[in-house]
Amino acid sequence: MRSDTFESDILRLMREQNVPGLSLVTIRNGSMGKALALGVRDLSTNDPVDEKTIFGAASLTKPLAAYATLQLVDAGELDLDAPLSGFAGPVNPEDAASHSITTRHILTHSAGLPNVKGDGRPRIHFPPGSHFSYSSVGFLYLQKAIEAITQQPFETTLTQLVFEPLGMMSSSLAWRPQFEVNFASPHENGKPIAKQRLAAANASGSLQTTATDYGRFLLAALKGERLSKCTFHQWLEPVFHVPWATTEHLSLDPIKLDDDVAWGLGWGIEINRKSFFQWGWLDGTRAFVLGDPTAQSGAVLLTNSNTGLRLVPEIFEAVMPGTHSAIEWCKWNR
């Protein structure tokens, strides 16, 4: 994309990929720019997206949950390596391995838990700490433990440790009635579908936010604000290489691993570039965030379409030039 045609090029991409609306924020040299808002919130009404439009951010929730968790670690309220069963009980009392699951296992997606909860108690598929297998279930278990430790709803903890300190006043993990007037309806294959209106927080994927608000969090993540130097370093340190072209690997059988993509304490990590990332995926919603602490640059993209991730390669090549292993790894996810 040429800089003089950036907006028109994105609009072309949106038409080609059937994406009704998006909001994009970029950070350069430690400064956040104005949100770019394009398209419509809902194809049935054609109401336009603007800078204050709220999008479902899906799994972009997880880095926020990790950020709050690590602040609790710094405060001495939580130990990365203490079994969470001591606070929330074992996730599956019938499985001895579940007694040993720790916060570190959850944040690095190495707890042995499946990504999506099925019927009954979740099975521990491999010894915790063995290898990476993406798990949304794990973040729900971590939420339960944190609520037991803090004796308050997870939404309150996020408000105290993330939303209020960073000025994210249009963000919540629980639905707010005021969101209704400027919310980007999710779309599947060009058709609006029902909004997700969760009454309580879900640490795995219920964040509703604006691109500007999430940009404020991204800026804090780039700078390591509100974390000790040691904890900030651990947050972005690669721990487990991820499987090639998939997120979930519950088997103990060997599998090809990505050479340059790993997971740290809540972020995906590009090892060579030392950048961090996370994607978001829910029905009718796609999102992506990428940050480069060395250059103090980054971008967050929120869309209201199941095809939204198809925009990522061209948009992020324009705003964060160079080869990004994270985008290549996520190509199966489009």
9 pLDDT exceeds 70? yes
> Distances from the Cα of 317 to the Cαs of 121, 258, 298, 312, 314, in angstroms?
42, 21, 11, 8, 5
Query: Which residue, among 166, 175, 224, 169, has the nearest Cα to 199 in the 3D structure?
Result: 175
Query: Which residue, among 198, 185, 232, has the nearest Cα to 66 in the 3D structure?
Result: 232
| Span 12-27, pLDDT tens digits | 999 999 999 999 999 9
H/E stretch holding 138 reads helix 136-150
Residue 237 amino acid letter: E
Residue 332 has a pLDDT of 72
Q: Residue 205: pLDDT band by 50, 70, 90 thresholds?
A: very high
Average pLDDT, the chain: 96
Whether the Cβ atoms of residue 19 and residue 309 lie closer than 8 Å to each other = no
Print the domain residue range for 109.
3-333
CA–CA distance, 12 with 323 (Å, rounded to integer): 23
| Span 64-103, pLDDT tens digits | 999 999 999 999 999 999 999 999 999 999 999 999 999 9
Give the start-end residues of each E strand in the chain. Answer: 21-28, 31-32, 36-42, 47-48, 55-58, 187-188, 191-192, 207-209, 240-243, 257-263, 268-270, 275-282, 285-292, 297-303
CA–CA distance, 57 with 112 (Å, rounded to integer): 25
Residue 3 has a pLDDT of 59
Domain total in the chain: 1
30 pLDDT exceeds 80? yes
CATH number of the domain at 27, please. 3.40.710.10
Which residue(s) pair with 209 in the sheet?
55
